[in-house]
Amino acid sequence: MLAKLEEEELTLLLASKNGITISEEDITNQIGVELGVPVAGSGSSFDTLYRDRLKTSKMSDGNYRRLTKVTIANDRLLEQYETEVGLAGETVVLRAVLSNSKETADAALARIKAGEDMGTVAQQESTDLSSRQTDGVLDAEPVALLPESIRKALEAVKDGELVGPIEAQGNFWILRVETRDPQGVLSTTNITQLAQLKLDNALKELKAATKTTRSLDSSDIKWAEKHIQ
């Protein structure tokens, strides 16, 4: 729980460092968006629904607004990083045979090295059912989003060379680089994922450079109990 609270504080600090300002009006408007009603005063639908939300969540107005501020900060940071990512980036198309054990992967690799077509081996042996239908060819993927072990392995091989077995994501991979594109077109999903990666890395760097002091009193503990609910 403390780690979560620290992350939220770091998110607010990072937003401030990136020039993002969040007003009380921004927070109120965001609450209105979440409730699905326009912001209005006492006795309005907004007022009624917001009171119900506070009662249901067992949170004070101050704490709820703080959490909403963190949400806004996170969303605006992602928007900034999506702009930085842009519409193109380094992508790679891989042909892969995935196995659930090293022994199976070694056997598949031996067949390919002996002259069997890698696409045929992928059709018959790969545990990735989707790419089995495309002879093991995976969709173009931003290099930055590949598992670290695969990224490192690809640095040492040329296009067309076999590499593996590499253990990643619970499988053993045999890979061949089909094409690389330093300016490949990124999908909307890719852009979002790369922006999230940038945000995660920025938060890690900020955490490493920030001195954190934990000082909890009884009111802090009560707030945390409500927060975790």
Per-residue pLDDT of 142-156, as tens digits, reads 999 999 999 999 988
Same domain, 93 and 179: yes
Residues with Cβ within 8 Å of 217's Cβ and at least 6 positions away in sequence, in order, are none
Task: Count the Cβ atoms, other than its own, within 10 Å of residue 163.
Answer: 17
- Cis peptide before 38, with omega less than 30 degrees from 0? no
Per-residue pLDDT of 28-71, as tens digits, reads 999 999 999 999 988 899 999 999 999 998 889 998 999 999 99
Q: Counting Cβ atoms within 10 Å, is residue 5 exposed (0-12), middle (13-18) or buried (19+)?
A: middle
Q: What's the rounded Cα separation, in Å, for the pair 170 and 225?
A: 36
Q: What's the rounded Cα separation, in Å, for the pair 194 and 185?
A: 13
For the chain, where are the E strands, in sequence order? 88-99, 141-142, 162-168, 171-185
Same domain, 109 and 176: yes
| pLDDT tens over the chain, length 229 residues | 567 778 889 999 999 999 999 999 999 999 999 999 999 988 899 999 999 999 998 889 998 999 999 999 999 999 999 999 999 999 999 999 999 999 999 999 999 999 999 999 999 999 999 999 999 999 999 999 999 999 999 988 889 899 989 999 899 999 999 999 999 999 999 999 999 999 999 999 999 988 766 666 666 666 566 655 5
Q: Which CATH number do you get for residue 108?
A: 3.10.50.40
Segments forming the whole domain that contains residue 181? 88-185
Q: What's the rounded Cα separation, in Å, for the pair 44 and 15?
A: 32
Count of domains forming the chain: 2
User: Which residue carries 């042909």 as its tokens?
Assistant: 95
Same domain, 12 and 63: yes
φ, ψ for residue 141 (rounded to 5)? -130, 135
Same domain, 117 and 162: yes
Q: What's the rounded Cα separation, in Å, for the pair 118 and 126?
A: 10
Same domain, 205 and 133: no
